[in-house]
Amino acid sequence: MSLGFDLIKTDAGARLGRVTTPHGAFSTPAFMPVGTKGAVKGVTPEELRGLGAEIILSNTYHLYLRPGHELIKSLGGLHRFMNWDGPILTDSGGFQVFSLCKLRKIDESGVQFSSHLDGSRHLLTPEGAIEIQEALGSDIMMTLDECTPHPATREYTENSMNLTHRWAKRCKDARKNDSQALFGIVQGGMYKDLRRVSAASIVDIGFDGYALGGLSVGEEKPLMQEMIAETAPLLPVERPRYLMGVGTPEDLVFGVSQGIDMFDCVMPTRNARNGTLFTRRGKLVIKNAQYERDPAPLDEECACYTCRNFSRAYLRHIYMMGEILSSRLNTVHNLHYYTTLMGEMREAIGSGRFEEWRKSFYAMRALAPA
């Protein structure tokens, strides 16, 4: 078996588990920092480990274009290439084609697209997506899917969903390396009945884990939550459940409450570079003038390196001056916040008090529970 999953405990809909891969295990619910191009921006692999990260995500689309999956394979695979010895999940590139490539054509064979780098033309097929990911050597691969835009008509959404199902079967048939797990992706847009159809179809094909795709693409938050709540219970209890690309702290808490095990998002690292920090009491925008003389840490309850050593005044100063250190310190804090948040949820589930913890999370942020 390429991937093992032990469901340790459930509490108020939330799940505590442990996933085992060829490059080690990670506890769930888990947040995966995003190393889009083979690096989590601003931090070293050793720092990631120190921050509590156990699994990271890298991007098939970007690594295929540069430096190329064959080059990475020749240098020992992605783990050795980026000096990360823990589990790696690679996405299939479908979302990046959807979001970055203005010139693209989707048909039964796959998706033809123009590179956002130089305009060169490429064809990404389901078989090609698996070939690239096998060359990279990731522990968890994703099937190629069409990320349905929002809004979309029912007819478009249903056709897109059915194409995703056919591609999923081709991805499974194309897999040559059984030591790499393969997750199927549920689509169906913002139509609950199509989500149910998609979940049944993807489960019927049979994968090592299951993901919810096509969310956080511009829809209103209540609608996204409705789709998650509708779909998550339809996925096999004995397999990991992954919510793709959804990642505010509130989203993570809601997802965990619905039985989701794995998450990824660029938000903690991207927001760090933009000067937006996550704290127990909500977001803090460090460029705001109110922090110019503030001697307090970002979050007095945070134990990260940034909060232990630097004031809001200093962090504002180096951000306003454009210092590289600003991005690094902000990233360290945001990733620590995210990994700590996941750890707190795991502890709460394990002790049977997740609902109590969830209410306190929203109360601290002066938000009504979702």
Q: Catalytic residues, which ones?
A: 91, 264
E strand residue ranges, 14-103? 14-21, 24-28, 30-32, 34-35, 56-59, 88-91
The rounded distance, in Å, linking the Cα atoms of 176 and 351 is 41
Bridge partners of 58, per DSSP, are 35, 90
What is the Rg, in whole angstroms, of the alpha carbon atoms belonging to the chain?
A: 20
Q: How many CB atoms lie within 10 A of CB 352?
A: 12
> 42 with 272: CB under 8 angstroms?
yes
> 95 with 164: CB under 8 angstroms?
no
Beta strand 56-59 pairing with 34-35: parallel
Cα angle vertex 245, ends 239, 247, to 5°? 100
Look up residue 87 and give its two tokens. 């589990």
Beta strand 181-186 pairing with 4-11: unpaired
The rounded distance, in Å, linking the Cα atoms of 121 and 147 is 20
Long-range contacts, stretch 163-168, CB < 8 angstroms, 24+ apart:
163/106, 163/108, 164/198, 165/198, 165/201, 165/202, 165/205, 166/108, 167/110, 167/126, 167/143, 168/126, 168/143, 168/144, 168/202, 168/205, 168/207
Q: How many CB atoms lie within 10 A of CB 203?
A: 16
CA nearest neighbour of 195 among 211, 207, 174, 179: 211
Beta strand 276-279 pairing with 282-285: antiparallel
* DSSP character string of 120-158: -EEEE-HHHHHHHHHHHT-SEEE-------SS--HHHHH
The rounded distance, in Å, linking the Cα atoms of 115 and 89 is 23
